[in-house]
Structure 1
Amino acid sequence: MSNNQPLLPDPQALNPAPAESLLDGALHYFPAFLPYNNADKLFQQLLHTLPWRQESLTIYGRRQVSPRLQCWLGEHGLSYRYSGKTFISQAWDPLLQQLAALISHQLQQPFNSVLANLYRNGQDSMGWHSDDEAELGPAPVIASLSLGAERDFTLRRRGESRQAGRLALAHGSLLVMNAGMQSHWQHALPKRANVQQPRINLTFRQILY
């Protein structure tokens, strides 16, 4: 299957149901942003063609192997530092560039890069964090597209240890973290022993410098 095949719906024809507003508008959730058939094809294409790597990151002050696979793609030469490591963007995959344009069109929000995460099964995870790196600016908007196995997106207020909420992210759904959310909330993707299938998460971002 070629990356040039039209796996995505036409932006003019895409008409997802209105978003659910959560956390007093800090989050907007489109449970069926992509039609199911498009989401299935996109998942299989990206699973087998993206340059997935398992990085060594600094997590809670210790150098360790990341509990997931990932890759970062976007416009030429973008630099992004997180978890003690600096990443330089790889060239846009044509399909992801089209997807970024589609989501930008729907949200009226520019995106120049995407951090892609592959959770191979329920043993892969993401710890508590906020996406508040300097390169994203003081109030970033981040659009997170989920493909594959349904996983829980958990939330807690910054400075607190108690989980305050949980949202199951469906195949083909889009979660938009709006401006200001990263200053007040942390999020995570915990392990789930009963999940055996992979999940791809595409987090579209605008790097400012």
Structure 2
Amino acid sequence: MLDLFPNEKITLNLPDAVFEYYPNFFSKETADELFKKLLNETPWQQDEITVFGKTHLQPRLTALYGNEGKPYSYSNIIMHPHYWNPLLTYIKEKVEETCNHSFTTVLLNNYRNEKDSNGWHADNEKELGRDPIIASVSLGEERVFQLKHNTNKEAKQSLILKHGSLLIMKKGSQIYYKHQIPKATKQKKERINLTFRTIL
């Protein structure tokens, strides 16, 4: 695990890709307010997902917001976006300023407890292009985030995504790596993750 200092950009020491982590992107006061509003005002849904021929409910709640009604699909789920609201527009503009990149959509995930998770995957859907930039804001309960290289077994990393943090996955990140939020062994409260993407 990385032991991180406040107010610092951390560039992960991993080959073939660029990962930048801002542990205190939002102040605690701002992060607290954003978490409370998003938790209570987001139209959360729980979709079915089919894995290895078996269908079950996703182990988290989701919501999609984006431009021009462009859908986003993953794991045979097609989501249609809600229109941007002032709160999400505020977060998006802050993220875009740091990333120097424009995003068209955000997928919100609500991890309700330690049993909710997101398995190994890359954000490599065709509508994102070959080498997308992904920006991820974490609010609420801290959770472990894991990265592993597709072919280099030595290239892997675990870090704790803190309340109010920003993780930017840049060049090579979705080509050479997979990432996950595993189930936790200890009791966890709710966590909201906002993952910003650009649909081409």
Q: Give the TM-score, by structure 2 length.
A: 0.90
Matched, 1:21 2:11: yes
CA distance in 1, matches of 2:51, 2:152: 19
CA RMSD of aligned residues (A): 1.8
User: Which residue identity lines up with residue 112 of structure 1 in the other structure?
Assistant: T
Q: Give the TM-score, by structure 1 length.
A: 0.87
Assess if the C-alpha contact under 8 Å between 2:99 and 2:168 holds in 1: no
Matches within 5 A, 1:1-150: 17-22=7-12, 23-24=14-15, 26-150=18-142
Alpha-carbon spacing, 1:68–1:105, altered in 2? closer, same or farther (3 Å): same
Alpha-carbon spacing, 1:117–1:161, altered in 2? closer, same or farther (3 Å): farther
CA distance in 2, matches of 1:200, 1:86: 21
* Alignment correspondent of 1:192: 184
CA distance in 2, matches of 1:19, 1:196: 26
CA distance in 1, matches of 2:187, 2:68: 36
User: Which residue identity lines up with residue 83 of structure 2 in the other structure?
Assistant: A
CA distance in 1, matches of 2:114, 2:155: 19
SS at 1:47 equivalent: helix
Q: What do the CA deviations read for 1:143-177 (whole angstroms, capped 9, x no partner)?
A: 00000000000111225789932111000000000
Assess if the C-alpha contact under 8 Å between 1:154 and 1:163 holds in 2: no
Percent of residue pairs identical: 41
CA distance in 2, matches of 1:102, 1:145: 11
CA distance in 1, matches of 2:72, 2:52: 19
Higher relative contact order (CA 8 A, sep 6+): 2
Matches within 5 A, 1:162-177: 164-177=156-169
CA distance in 1, matches of 2:155, 2:116: 19
CA distance in 2, matches of 1:81, 1:70: 13
CA distance in 1, matches of 2:197, 2:34: 19
User: Which residue identity lines up with residue 200 of structure 1 in the other structure?
Assistant: I
CA distance in 2, matches of 1:204, 1:38: 19
SS at 1:43 equivalent: helix
Q: Where does the alignment leave 5 or more consecutive residues of structure 1 unmatched?
A: 1-15
Q: Where does the alignment leave 5 or more consecutive residues of structure 2 unmatched?
A: 1-5
CA distance in 1, matches of 2:125, 2:40: 30
Matched residues, number: 193
CA distance in 1, matches of 2:175, 2:76: 20
Q: Moved runs in structure 1, 4+ residues, more than 6 A?
A: 160-163
